Amino acid sequence: MPKPVLLVVDDTEEELRLIQRDLERRYGQRYRIHGERSGSEALEKLWQLKQGGERVALVLANQRMRKITGVEVLTQAASLFPDVKRALIADYSDAESAIDAIKKFGIDHYLIRPCQPPEQNLYPVIDDLLVDWESRFLLSLEGVRVVGSRFSPESHQTRDFLVRNCVPFQWLDIERDEEARRLLAGAGEKASRLPIIVFPDGTQLVQPTNTQIAEKIGLKVHPGGTSYDLVIVGGGPAGLAASVYGASEGLRTVMIERHAPGGQAGLSAMIENYLGFPAGMSGTELARRAVVQAKKFEVEIVTPQVVTAVRVEGSSRIVTLSDGSDLRCEVALLATGVEWRRLDVPGIERLTGAGVYYGGTLAEVFFCRNEDVYIVGGANSAGQAALHFSRYARSVTLVVRADSLSKSMSHYLIEQIEATKNIKVRLNTTVCEAHGEDRLESITLLDSATGDKETVRTNALFIFIGALPHTDWLEGVVARDDHGFILTGPDLAKVAGDGHRPAGWPLERDPFWLESSVPGIFVAGDVRHGSVKRVAAGVGEGATAVQFIHQYLNSTLSGS
């Protein structure tokens, strides 16, 4: 397999020569570096690469070229290679239009020329873009292979687990790939025992659980110790932020995550409103970076593992795991977020994982090339998914119960949806039935304004209809509101037994802002009553909780 390509386009000969030389020096071992002197030559080259079945990782194009501009080249590049990373080379005076291009055309970054010295003005941006590209596409060809059926729920579970844990893999579908059928026969397995995961060392797992996969790929499924300063339950943005701040400030910290670090944010195709990332970044990439950061500070990350109970024993908090083991700690932080609400109409439950999916978009994007995809929901998560799928699918239809998107979706997403030709929005519409034997074949849509029903063919329905906390396991432990969100700090006045302190509160002081009705059990992120449901808010609360945890620890040590 030839090395993937980095293409640079600049009609200023000297600039082109310098950038090519600098790219060659740093990336030449892993990539083939091509240079083109005009937009038309670059488009011709991209077309040839496409025809030859080659991989293009990155295109860099000078905005100020004669005839065809950099933005035009980058826009065409994405239509030929939907996953390619794209950066514009601009003059200082073009910075505004470069930012505009990021906004309008989803361009990943811009560089101000001259990109010298490269260590400062070229490599940091290119390194970032290539790390992201490689984590998804490069290793998949050399690493893990998954043999499965697109419409099998077990195969979906495996794909989803690998994608969310940032494990690149090559997907081989028994309905399409000869290689998949050969591996299946070689393993002596029947199609009913899918998926099969083939590892680079030749070993295989047949229809594995997530725990078996985790053990094989080197995740830590059981904690190394039994006693910690801080146990964090949940590895979304709030839990990850708390783990980084906690461990970096000297607390022995373990984070227990049921599925994969990143939480809901890990499902987001493109987070555009997180400070400091003007071109946005995928939730998996944000999670991948946060995990590296947490590990740098020696946070123990345990996943997949579920916390089933929390209790108080004297000054300790005891956290019970699903295998029955207990962890003792000074402080527990609950950051368990929320989960999708289920769509309760005929056919949906039976076909979940076989064409119907709750949010799990990134793992399914492989299959949506040239398909007609339906997305239920009118909030930001649905809008982001629609934009993401529109890069691959023939058409995307957003099915929205309300009569307008503006009530529930951010303005920037509505603008992008309106500007995307293959996205259609059906307002006042709900899905009232899903059809198909062993896979989704069609859905029936109900127009609530007219009462008309229409059945449309589709193999892919993604549901994004709001979320609820699953905190029943905390019943009788911490105070919650009527929807299950956990009350903290001043909100505990709502269940106050005495003055503004919760019933049974044993201390002289009031609960801290992010403290639950039990001293030493803190809460951060979406699961908290009154929280702002955003990545930045979760990160902020996770970091802030650690501040209160220090105050709590200091006050227990001093006996006050």
Q: Can you give the binding site for ligand FAD, defined by CB under 6 A?
A: 233-239, 256-259, 263-265, 267-268, 271-273, 306-307, 335-338, 359, 380-381, 384, 525-526, 533-536, 538
Q: How far is the CB of 323 from ligand FAD (least distance, A)?
A: 12
Q: How far is the CB of 161 from ligand FAD (least distance, A)?
A: 12
What would the two tokens of residue 145 be? Answer: 């292979």
CA distance linking residue 277 with residue 380, whole number of Å: 18
DSSP secondary structure string for all residues of 97-160 = HHHHHHHHH---EEEESS--SHHHHTHHHHHHHHHHHIIIIIGGGTSEEEEE-TT-HHHHHHHH
What would the two tokens of residue 342 be? Answer: 């289920």
CA distance linking residue 211 with residue 216, whole number of Å: 9
Nearer to ligand FAD, 35 or 538 (CB): 538
Nearer to ligand FAD, 456 or 543 (CB): 543
Q: How far is the CB of 300 from ligand FAD (least distance, A)?
A: 14
CA distance linking residue 336 with residue 319, whole number of Å: 14
Q: How far is the CB of 42 from ligand FAD (least distance, A)?
A: 32
CB 515 within 8 A of CB 487: no
Could you give the count of Cα atoms lying within 13 Å of 151 in the half-sphere of its Cβ? 16
Nearer to ligand FAD, 197 or 271 (CB): 271
User: What letter represents residue 397's amino acid?
Assistant: T
CA distance linking residue 485 with residue 334, whole number of Å: 11
CA distance linking residue 176 with residue 179, whole number of Å: 9
CA distance linking residue 125 with residue 109, whole number of Å: 8
Q: How far is the CB of 171 from ligand FAD (least distance, A)?
A: 22
Q: How far is the CB of 94 from ligand FAD (least distance, A)?
A: 27
- Strands (E) located in 155-244: 169-173, 196-198, 204-206, 227-233
Q: How far is the CB of 381 from ligand FAD (least distance, A)?
A: 3
CA distance linking residue 60 with residue 7, whole number of Å: 6
CA distance linking residue 39 with residue 11, whole number of Å: 8
Q: How far is the CB of 259 from ligand FAD (least distance, A)?
A: 4
User: What letter represents residue 415's amino acid?
Assistant: E
Q: Spell out the residues 6+ positions from residue 407 whose beta carbon is closer than 8 angstroms to its own.
A: 378
Nearer to ligand FAD, 36 or 272 (CB): 272
Q: What angle do CA 272, 399, 471 make, to 5 degrees?
A: 65
Nearer to ligand FAD, 9 or 386 (CB): 386
Nearer to ligand FAD, 118 or 337 (CB): 337
Q: How far is the CB of 540 from ligand FAD (least distance, A)?
A: 11
3-state secondary structure of 132: helix
